[in-house]
């Protein structure tokens, strides 16, 4: 393969950290090298498209994928930021001409609800050099950092949309990392959030991934929408243990079953070939063949965890029927209480093709031959038994009865997207459960490698006693982790020993908790019995987390020395050492404020204005004397510690705040500071005042350091990756403190 000249971008972005990815960047691989005879022969044999579409399909695969993003966050927040994109940014990009060429502005993806997803196709050079696009690009970068924008492939946004999640649903995301779809599910659970305050959903989202490092990436990502209803586990989804919860009001325990389950399974990922150019070089049919068994086991397990009338979305970013229709056909055969849902009238603007009813697997790397039936394959391959191919890789005899045409295939040339597959399955009402039990003993399709799932034991045994408290968001995402499409290994969760901290609920009378509630002026209805800490002694050492009732019940009734629980609830309070001479106190974390806000006594919320906001944003530790009256006197009269400030909409010097903003501050002796991390502050400054904040001046820093809080406000932000290329892998700032304006 010939390569075009290497750009200098790689060096600029920090040496060769991304060398593996950059090697295959679209501007480094000539179109003429985007060929793979095996790929073409295989998909021609599968008849995935009418012959007349083949050339446009292949052409689309050879063109770079447009940039797509989703306006994230709870509904009101997202709608508000979306209006800014539509009414401010897009008009400014409407008439951009670059090197004599008109550059098209971003457009809304037509099928995405409420126009919240966008797409644009602009060369990097334009993003760097056109002042209008440069400004828009900075806006996107900052909003992504604070979690208001999610750079996500358009097709990857699809599966959660078919689940219709509601705030009371119990939802499971079986293969969740790095978490772009988890975020969508969380947003749906939090549909009732307002611009400034978070709701506490009665349902839950259990997000799981078998890769430990990627689980922490997931935790990092989902901290963009802090939720007391989120739990993260690190387990093999194909063998996921049953979770116990009390049955109604009596003391009997029953298995927790889910209303909605997402199975976005590991796959060969050839639908991502437009951005993962190495697939051109490496593709061969056994990639998909080898994953079929794991995909099947994960989906089978999901089916056992689903409530009657519940719904599953199964998805892959692969075009291979062996990973798609073959998996669906096999599970339908062994679970007759399930059926494929006809979703053809949903998202009417989405161009899709029905699922296949015939396909021809092969284990021949060169794809010289493919086989219509398993029997034909065995007859022609003496080594058949040593391949990963099973009868379940082929269409079953009753394929016509399964409605496989209800599956959705998304092809790149139809709407300039990646390739994708989604199937929506529902479980029939209760009578089906009886059938399921009868069938379980002799399911017609053997599932390669299937194990009996473990049952969670009652929470009797004590948790391990690690030395230090670990905050759930402390992981540093690893940029060299494989992208989802590259995950082709059988999972192993046993590689790392299980060192998670225990989860201990505080007594509502815990003296430190009570002190904290008093100092922060929280109302009596604050759910103090749902506060947990994570350290072996169960004492308040540093941070306190809030969960909803169902997460509390799950934690209290299951043995988490056996279920690898890596996060639960959301961190709301953390200890703040005082400056010189003042005692330590607890403060509301920026990310926790929306959750705590409904319980902050309104009389204790300080009222500020645009001038105060400007002072807070321009300096890092502004002196009390730098504020205008009457806010200056209000600040001077405050006790030291954490307070909440309300900035109502307003204008100053041409800058405007269009929605109310509530932020935590910390008052020290002579200065006061916003308790938001640098990135959030930058995004706020850019949005309201049109400029970034400046780094602290040496002088300013020196003058105030004796007065400033001992812990920097950035203490909770660790290791956000800075690779803008890979949106699925991209983490964001951990604190979502600034709602969209």
Ligand X SMILES: C[S@@+](CC[C@H](N)C(=O)[O-])C[C@H]1O[C@@H](n2cnc3c(N)ncnc32)[C@H](O)[C@@H]1O
Positions marked catalytic: 317
Of the pair 62, 275, the CB lying nearest ligand X is at 275
394-453 residues in contact with ligand X (CB under 6 A) are none
Of the pair 271, 321, the CB lying nearest ligand X is at 271
3-state helix, strand, coil in the chain (%, to 5): 35, 15, 50
Q: Which stretch binds ligand X (CB under 6 A): 47-55, 169-177, 402-410, 616-624?
A: 169-177
In this structure, are strands 204-208 and 230-233 parallel, antiparallel, or unpaired? parallel
Neighbours of 627 (CB within 10 A): 21
Does position 491 interact with ligand X (CB under 6 A)? The reply is yes
268 is in an annotated binding site: no
236 is in an annotated binding site: yes
Of the pair 274, 360, the CB lying nearest ligand X is at 274
* Structural element, H or E, at residue 515: helix 511-519
198 is in an annotated binding site: no
Does position 147 interact with ligand X (CB under 6 A)? The reply is no
Least distance (Å) between residue 330 CB and ligand X:
17
Q: Residue 315 contacts by C-beta under 8 Å, 6 or more apart in sequence?
A: 158, 159, 262, 263, 264, 265, 420, 421, 422, 423
Q: Which stretch binds ligand X (CB under 6 A): 234-242, 419-427, 509-517, 575-583?
A: 234-242
178 is in an annotated binding site: yes
Contact 640, 667 (CB under 8 A): yes
177 is in an annotated binding site: yes
Out of 201, 228, 484, 594, which residue is the one contacting ligand X (CB under 6 A)? 484
Q: Residue 131 contacts by C-beta under 8 Å, 6 or more apart in sequence?
A: none
Contact 605, 646 (CB under 8 A): yes
527-586 residues in contact with ligand X (CB under 6 A) are none
Q: Which stretch binds ligand X (CB under 6 A): 41-49, 171-179, 278-286, 507-515?
A: 171-179
Least distance (Å) between residue 251 CB and ligand X:
33
304-363 residues in contact with ligand X (CB under 6 A) are none
Of the pair 591, 727, the CB lying nearest ligand X is at 727
Out of 84, 130, 148, 210, which residue is the one contacting ligand X (CB under 6 A)? 210
Least distance (Å) between residue 338 CB and ligand X:
20
Out of 261, 487, 520, 565, which residue is the one contacting ligand X (CB under 6 A)? 487
**CA quadruple 600, 602, 606, 610: dihedral positive or negative?**
positive
First-last CA distance in the chain: 48
Burial of 349 (0-12, 13-18, 19+ CB in 10 A): exposed
Does position 236 interact with ligand X (CB under 6 A)? The reply is yes
Distance CA 354, CA 341 (A): 12
Of the pair 208, 548, the CB lying nearest ligand X is at 208
Of the pair 157, 624, the CB lying nearest ligand X is at 157
The single residue listed with the structure tokens 């990502």 is: 221
Least distance (Å) between residue 303 CB and ligand X:
15
Least distance (Å) between residue 407 CB and ligand X:
17
Alpha helices in 335-411 (DSSP H): 374-380
Of the pair 67, 362, the CB lying nearest ligand X is at 67
Site string for ligand X, 174-203 (x = CB under 6 A): -xxxxxxx----------------------
Distance CA 296, CA 326 (A): 9
Out of 209, 325, 677, 727, which residue is the one contacting ligand X (CB under 6 A)? 209
519-538 residues in contact with ligand X (CB under 6 A) are none
Out of 49, 122, 231, 237, which residue is the one contacting ligand X (CB under 6 A)? 237
Alpha helices in 558-691 (DSSP H): 593-596, 610-618, 631-636, 678-689
Does position 734 interact with ligand X (CB under 6 A)? The reply is no
Least distance (Å) between residue 160 CB and ligand X:
9
Site string for ligand X, 106-145 (x = CB under 6 A): ----------------------------------------
Does position 664 interact with ligand X (CB under 6 A)? The reply is no
Distance CA 262, CA 302 (A): 8
Distance CA 220, CA 222 (A): 6
Least distance (Å) between residue 317 CB and ligand X:
7
Q: Which stretch binds ligand X (CB under 6 A): 35-43, 232-240, 285-293, 639-647?
A: 232-240
Out of 22, 153, 325, 728, which residue is the one contacting ligand X (CB under 6 A)? 728
Of the pair 145, 209, the CB lying nearest ligand X is at 209
Of the pair 240, 526, the CB lying nearest ligand X is at 240
Of the pair 236, 364, the CB lying nearest ligand X is at 236
Q: Which stretch binds ligand X (CB under 6 A): 210-218, 320-328, 363-371, 372-380?
A: 210-218
Query: What are φ and ψ of residue 207, in 5° steps?
Result: -105, 130
Neighbours of 224 (CB within 10 A): 26
Distance CA 629, CA 632 (A): 5
State the number of CA atoms in the 13 A half-sphere of 617 facing the CB: 25
Which residue in 147, 155, 154 sits closest to 117, CA to CA? 154
Q: Tell me the three state secondary structure of residue 304.
A: helix
Question: Per the omega criterion (within 30 degrees of 0), is the bond before 220 cis?
Answer: no
Which residue in 39, 471, 457, 41 sits closest to 288, CA to CA? 39
Of the pair 209, 436, the CB lying nearest ligand X is at 209
Distance CA 171, CA 230 (A): 10
Out of 153, 211, 591, 716, which residue is the one contacting ligand X (CB under 6 A)? 211
Least distance (Å) between residue 150 CB and ligand X:
10
Least distance (Å) between residue 181 CB and ligand X:
4
181 is in an annotated binding site: yes
Least distance (Å) between residue 238 CB and ligand X:
5
In this structure, are strands 543-546 and 531-533 parallel, antiparallel, or unpaired? antiparallel
DSSP E strands, 61-169 = 67-71, 97-98, 101-102, 107-108, 117-120, 149-150
Which residue in 188, 187, 414, 410 sits closest to 315, CA to CA? 410
209 is in an annotated binding site: yes
Distance CA 490, CA 290 (A): 9
State the number of CA atoms in the 13 A half-sphere of 154 facing the CB: 30
Distance CA 117, CA 81 (A): 12
DSSP E strands, 117-223 = 117-120, 149-150, 170-173, 204-208
Least distance (Å) between residue 489 CB and ligand X:
8
246-285 residues in contact with ligand X (CB under 6 A) are 264, 266
264 is in an annotated binding site: yes
Contact positions vs ligand X (CB under 6 A): 156, 175-181, 208-211, 214, 236-238, 264, 266, 294, 298, 484, 487, 491, 728
Per the annotation, binding residues are 175-181, 209, 236, 264
Per the annotation, binding residues for S-adenosyl-L-methionine are 175-181, 209, 236, 264
């Amino acid at each position: 393969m010939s390569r075009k000249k290497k750009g200098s971008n790689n060096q600029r972005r920090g040496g060769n950290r991304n060398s593996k990815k950059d090697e295959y960047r679209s501007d480094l691989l000539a179109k003429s090298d985007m060929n793979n005879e095996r790929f073409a022969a295989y998909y021609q044999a599968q008849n995935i498209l009418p012959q007349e579409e083949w050339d446009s399909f292949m052409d689309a695969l050879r063109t770079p994928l447009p940039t797509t993003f989703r306006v994230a966050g709870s509904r009101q927040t997202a709608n508000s930021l979306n209006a800014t994109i539509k009414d401010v940014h897009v008009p400014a990009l409407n008439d951009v001409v670059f090197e004599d060429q008109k550059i098209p502005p971003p457009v809304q993806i037509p099928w995405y609800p409420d126009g919240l997803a966008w797409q644009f196709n602009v060369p990097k050079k334009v993003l760097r050099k056109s002042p209008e696009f440069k400004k828009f690009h900075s806006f996107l970068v900052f909003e992504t950092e604070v979690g208001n924008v999610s750079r996500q492939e358009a097709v990857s946004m699809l599966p959660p949309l078919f689940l219709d999640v509601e705030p009371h649903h119990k939802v499971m995301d079986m293969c969740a990392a790095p978490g772009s779809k988890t975020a969508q599910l969380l947003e749906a659970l939090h549909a009732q959030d307002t611009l400034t305050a978070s709701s506490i959903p009665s349902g839950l989202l259990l997000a799981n991934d078998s890769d430990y490092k990627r689980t922490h990436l997931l935790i990092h990502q989902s901290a963009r929408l802090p939720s007391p209803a989120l739990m993260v586990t690190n387990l093999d989804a194909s063998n996921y243990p049953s979770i116990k919860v009390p049955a109604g009001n009596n003391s009997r325990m029953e298995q927790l079953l889910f209303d909605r389950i997402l199975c976005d399974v590991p796959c060969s990922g050839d639908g991502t070939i437009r951005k993962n150019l190495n697939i051109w070089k490496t593709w061969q049919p056994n990639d998909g063949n080898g994953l079929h068994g794991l995909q099947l086991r994960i989906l089978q397990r999901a089916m056992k965890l689903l409530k009657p009338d519940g719904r599953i979305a199964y998805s892959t970013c692969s075009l291979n029927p062996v990973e798609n229709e073959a998996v669906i056909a096999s599970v339908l055969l062994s679970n007759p209480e399930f059926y494929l849902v006809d979703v053809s009238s949903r998202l009417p603007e989405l161009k899709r093709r029905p699922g296949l009813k015939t396909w021809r697997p092969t284990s021949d790397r060169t794809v010289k031959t493919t086989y219509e039936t398993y029997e034909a394959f065995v007859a022609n391959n003496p080594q058949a038994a040593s391949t990963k191919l099973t009868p379940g890789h082929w269409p079953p005899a009753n394929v016509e009865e399964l409605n496989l045409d209800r599956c959705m295939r998304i092809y790149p040339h139809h709407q300039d997207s990646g390739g994708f597959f989604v199937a929506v399955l529902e479980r029939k009402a209760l009578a089906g459960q009886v059938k399921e039990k009868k069938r379980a003993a002799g399911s017609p399709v053997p599932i390669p490698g299937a194990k009996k799932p473990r049952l969670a034991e009652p929470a009797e045994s004590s948790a391990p006693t690690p030395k230090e408290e670990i905050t759930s968001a402390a992981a540093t995402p690893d940029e060299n982790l494989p992208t989802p499409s590259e995950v082709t290994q059988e999972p192993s969760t046993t590689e790392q020993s299980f060192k998670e901290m225990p989860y201990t609920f505080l007594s509502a009378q815990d003296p430190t908790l009570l002190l904290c509630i008093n100092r922060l002026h929280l109302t009596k209805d604050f759910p103090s019995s749902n506060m947990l800490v994570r350290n072996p002694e169960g004492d308040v050492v540093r941070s306190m987390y809030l969960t909803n009732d169902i997460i509390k019940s799950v934690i209290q009734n299951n043995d988490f020395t056996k279920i690898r629980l890596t996060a639960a609830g959301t961190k709301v309070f953390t200890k703040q050492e005082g400056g010189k001479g003042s005692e330590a106190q607890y403060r509301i974390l920026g990310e926790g404020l929306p959750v705590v806000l409904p319980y902050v006594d309104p009389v204790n919320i300080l009222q500020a204005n645009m001038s105060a906001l400007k002072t807070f944003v321009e300096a890092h530790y502004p002196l009390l004397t730098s504020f205008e009256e009457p806010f200056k006197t209000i600040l001077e009269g405050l006790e030291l510690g954490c307070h909440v400030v309300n900035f109502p909409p307003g204008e100053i010097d041409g800058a405007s705040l269009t929605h109310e903003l509530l932020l935590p501050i910390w008052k020290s002796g002579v200065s006061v500071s916003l308790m938001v991390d640098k990135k959030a502050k930058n995004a706020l400054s850019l949005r309201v005042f049109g400029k970034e904040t400046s780094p602290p001046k040496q002088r300013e820093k020196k003058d105030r350091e004796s007065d400033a809080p001992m812990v920097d406000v950035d203490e909770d932000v660790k290791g956000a990756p800075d690779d803008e290329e890979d949106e699925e892998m991209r983490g964001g700032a951990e604190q979502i403190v600034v709602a969209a304006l």
